[in-house]
Amino acid sequence: MKRIPMARPSWDDEMRAAAMDTLDSLYWVKGPQGKAFGSEFSQYCGAVQGTPCQSGSVALWGALRLLGIGPGDEVLVPSLTYIATATCVSLVGATAIFVDVEPDHWCVDLVSLEAARTPQTKAVIAVHLFGQMCDDALVDWCNQHDIAYIEDAAQAHGAASSAGVKAGGVGDVACFSFFPSKNLAVGGEGGMMMTRREDLAARMDALVNHGRDARLESHELGSNLRMSEVSAAIGRVQLQRLEGWLARRRAIAQRYHEAFSSLSGLSVPTVRNGTQHAWHQYCLLADDPKHLREVLDKAGVDSRIYYATPCHRQQVYANHPQHEEIFPVTDDIAQRLVAIPVHHQMTDGEVDRVIKAVQASIHS
């Protein structure tokens, strides 16, 4: 019986043709595909500018550079996230200040943010975790305190707020990843910076091209962070499919909700009222995650735990003053969030297998 993976990269004849046409054009870098991909994706998200780059991690670094954040500045980040959310702050010489997450939606907690705010706080990196949109009230909080709002939307392609605003169109700068497991991919590594601010838009393209202007003169510190034209061409095709893929992910998540909501020892994820979840991951909160994963493994179903070691407890931050700090929610759930397959290419039969395996774990 074939295993059900956590993700399957999408690849078809149209994507293959887009890649080959781009190679045949001999415009492999700095051509029309990257410009078109940035424009089309930013329009989809309701932003004014999108700039493709090499990865989501690069996008986060670029966002901080665009906002002028560096040594002496503090950036608030949730500890329950992928490590790049925090290390990008360290890479620009600023200080990451870790905060807890919400007990129900697992995104950055506003009460924790307020408690951590100081005169040195210049930005918050809010992660739309697993495809769940952050609290809309965060926008007002950032505006009230003159704090920049950076969206870590690496897992949130197509997610939308209760006001109908898509991830990427909420904060000052948004950062996307197009890693092969993401909702939208580009045939390898890739990312995008996005902004709704005209004053930042003019600098984004320059930043990924050594900070140069049209006359090839460097006006600020940048580097070669560009996405290849082939990757951008593939991303443009995938963007056309995104809404259909999201509909499939949401249908699978709904089946899981119906099947698992009444099971003892498990809690299904809660969707923030009025929002559209992108379901990059579907995470069950399990009382006995080890047993659940063992049963899934025997049934040929892959699973993962997110995030077993919170950022502030990782070795890279061994000398950080918060390394041993207790975050009640993060510490409670970090080793109990078990992700199960929810990708759009799953068949109905595979969804049935996952459901039966999860149900069996409760009775074994």
What DSSP assignment string belongs to 279-300? -S-EEEEESSHHHHHHHHHHTT
Mean pLDDT of the 45-68 span: 97
For residue 18, pLDDT over 70 is answered with yes
Torsion 170-121-88-28 (CA) sign: positive
* Residue 68, strand partner residues: none
**H or E segment at 241?**
helix 229-260
Q: CATH number for the domain including 304?
A: 3.90.1150.10
Residues 204 and 298 in one domain: no
Residues 63 and 178 in one domain: yes
CA atoms within 13 A on the CB side of 121: 24
Question: Of 201, 217, 237, which residue sits at a domain end?
Answer: 237
Q: What percent of the chain has pLDDT over 70?
A: 99
The pLDDT of residue 85 is 98
The pLDDT of residue 4 is 98
How sure is the predictor about 216, in pLDDT bands with cuts at 50, 70 and 90?
A: low
For residue 322, pLDDT over 70 is answered with yes
Indicate whether 285 belongs to any domain.
yes
Question: Of 237, 272, 306, which residue sits at a domain end?
Answer: 237
* Residue 95, strand partner residues: 74
Distance linking the first and last C-alpha atoms of the chain: 21
List pLDDT tens digits, range 166-215. 999 999 999 999 999 999 999 999 999 999 999 999 899 988 887 677 77
Report the candidate in 99, 95, 88 with the shortest Cα–Cα distance to residue 122.
Answer: 95
Q: CB of 162 within 8 A of CB of 273?
A: yes
CB under 8 Å to 319, separation ≥6 — which residues? none
CB under 8 Å to 81, separation ≥6 — which residues? 127, 129, 152, 307, 311
Mean pLDDT of the 4-23 span: 97
Structure token pair of residue 79: 């500890």
Question: In the β-sheet with 337-340, what is the strand arrangement from edge to edge?
Answer: 266-267, 282-286, 337-340, 304-305
**Rounded Cα gap, residues 294 and 297, in angstroms:** 5
**Rounded Cα gap, residues 33 and 52, in angstroms:** 10
Domain, as residue range, for 316: 242-362
Residues 130 and 246 in one domain: no
Indicate whether 22 belongs to any domain.
yes
For residue 218, pLDDT over 80 is answered with no
Question: Of 204, 237, 270, which residue sits at a domain end?
Answer: 237
For residue 248, pLDDT over 80 is answered with yes
Extract the runs of DSSP E, i.e. beta strands, from 226-336: 266-267, 282-286, 304-305
The pLDDT of residue 48 is 97
Q: What is the mean pLDDT of the chain?
A: 96
- 3-state class of 334 per DSSP? coil
The pLDDT of residue 151 is 98
How sure is the predictor about 21, in pLDDT bands with cuts at 50, 70 and 90?
A: very high
**Rounded Cα gap, residues 174 and 220, in angstroms:** 21
Structure token pair of residue 358: 């999860």
For residue 152, pLDDT over 70 is answered with yes
How sure is the predictor about 221, in pLDDT bands with cuts at 50, 70 and 90?
A: confident
List pLDDT tens digits, range 191-205. 999 999 999 998 999
How sure is the predictor about 257, in pLDDT bands with cuts at 50, 70 and 90?
A: very high
How sure is the predictor about 12, in pLDDT bands with cuts at 50, 70 and 90?
A: very high
Indicate whether 151 belongs to any domain.
yes
Residues 224 and 312 in one domain: no
Residues 154 and 171 in one domain: yes
Residues 289 and 222 in one domain: no
The pLDDT of residue 364 is 74
Mean pLDDT of the 43-58 span: 97
